[in-house]
Amino acid sequence: MRKNINKLNSTFSIQSYEGGYDKNFSYILTCLKTSEFIIIDASLHPSILELSQENKPSAIFITHSHNDHVRHIKSFNDRYPGIQIVGHPESKLNTSENNYFPSMHNSTVKVGKLNIKTFHTPGHYFDSICFYLENIIFTGDTMFVGRTGRTVSNGSNVEDLYNSIYKTILTLPKSTIIYPGHNYGKVPSISIGKNIKISPLLQASDKNDFENRMKAYEKNR
């Protein structure tokens, strides 16, 4: 397990923890004005995140429901009965067993004084979501440092991924910092502008070009 702490401004801080199935990240996002905090992706056990039973998160935000990102939902539910889970309306977690809040596209969820915007970004998986706050975005497996997510599993779609990347994420300010779901790059996080420069998958001229670049990436990986 590797832990990093980034205090980006006077309103919030981010703690990132690496581990899980495949260099997964779980994040703790804290509102510094109220001390309220959330978990982003249940990839790591609460004890790995150094959370005591008394130190309860306000919610768990889920970027998508692939097993490696939700594998410790039960552990969180056991430790914090009734903890709210925020994610896509069609997520497999949206059941009567969970205190689930379906977050709609372009909606806003408050955490303390923070306003977190939800973008539905299907492609890597049908229920993929990104969470956007001021100058940062948690991208899950939609975008990594150096590349996009893959579209090789049931529930993925390359055309949807193109639209999510090029019509949503890449329209944000180039200074926006991405916090991905896995540590696959040379650095754990990066600005959108710098990521475009190092990733051929983010340099496509149109949808067909993107699909061809994705095919070439899969062939050569």
φ and ψ of 153, to 5 deg: -115, 165
Model pLDDT, residue 4:
67
For 118-158, the pLDDT digits (tens) are 999 999 999 999 999 999 999 999 999 999 999 999 999 99
Q: Structurally, how many domains does the chain consist of?
A: 1
Which residue range(s) make up the domain with 149?
2-220
Q: How far is CA 141 from the centre of its chain?
A: 7
For 78-121, the pLDDT digits (tens) are 999 999 999 999 999 999 999 999 999 999 999 999 999 999 99
Between CA 109 and CA 148 the distance in angstroms is: 25
Model pLDDT, residue 18:
94
1 band by pLDDT with thresholds 50, 70 and 90? low
The closest alpha carbon to 166, from 133, 214, 127, 134, belongs to 214
Tokens at 87, concatenated: 């994610």
3-state secondary structure of 166: helix
- Which CATH number is 117's domain given? 3.60.15.10
175 band by pLDDT with thresholds 50, 70 and 90? very high
